[in-house]
Amino acid sequence: MPSLHRVFLVGPMGAGKTTIGKYLADHLKLRFADTDTEIEARTGADIPWIFDVEGEEGFRDREEQVVEEMTGWDGIVLATGGGVVLRPNNRRVLAARGFVIYLYATVKEQVKRTQRDRRRPLLQGGDPKEILTELMAERDPLYREIADHVIETDSCSPRTVAQRLVRELT
């Protein structure tokens, strides 16, 4: 049985990291945290604004600082942003400091789940299916590289995915 005092959720936008993470934390009697929420709290600005003002690179710098700190917290289920795996240091600390779960969702499901969400900077100004396909091609191998466990989220409710994870991991 894996040590589940630090559980890190990775995966593409729309995979359900935040929603599933809250259920999972509840089941495991851990606290829940989200890197994007932490970045917003620290900056006093939302993610789209940070992308507009600082660009993706500026956002990734902030994200790397938060990941470095939050992966050291005990008793946590931590949801990360979809692009967290782009930085080698993030991959290193996630893999070294906790149990990494890759929440896999197909591009078709990601498109469905994100179609009304205007808070996704990378999906603005282009064809969402095309963008998500490109992101998945780049990021899927990186998610798999650090994952201790992979679970598919397409055909289940977030609560069901969390329950399945608890059964599979405890």
CB-count burial class (<10 Å; 0-12, 13-18, 19+) for 122: middle
pLDDT tens, residue by residue, 98-126: 999 999 999 888 877 776 666 665 556 77
CATH classification of the domain holding 42: 3.40.50.300
CA distance 144 to 132: 17
In a domain, 57, yes or no: yes
The pLDDT assigned to 111 comes to 78
In a domain, 36, yes or no: yes
> Mean pLDDT of residues grouped by 10 in the chain (170 residues)?
82 91 94 96 92 91 97 96 96 97 92 68 71 91 96 90 88
Residue 1 pLDDT: 47
pLDDT score for 168 = 85
What does the pLDDT read at residue 2? 59
Q: How many domains does the chain have?
A: 1
Question: 104 lies in a domain?
Answer: yes
Give the per-residue pLDDT at 51: 87
Residue at 1 is within a domain: no
| pLDDT for position 112 | 79
* Full domain range(s) for residue 145: 6-169
Pairwise CA distance, residues 88 & 134, whole Å: 19
**Amino acid at residue number 160:** T
pLDDT of residue 117: 62
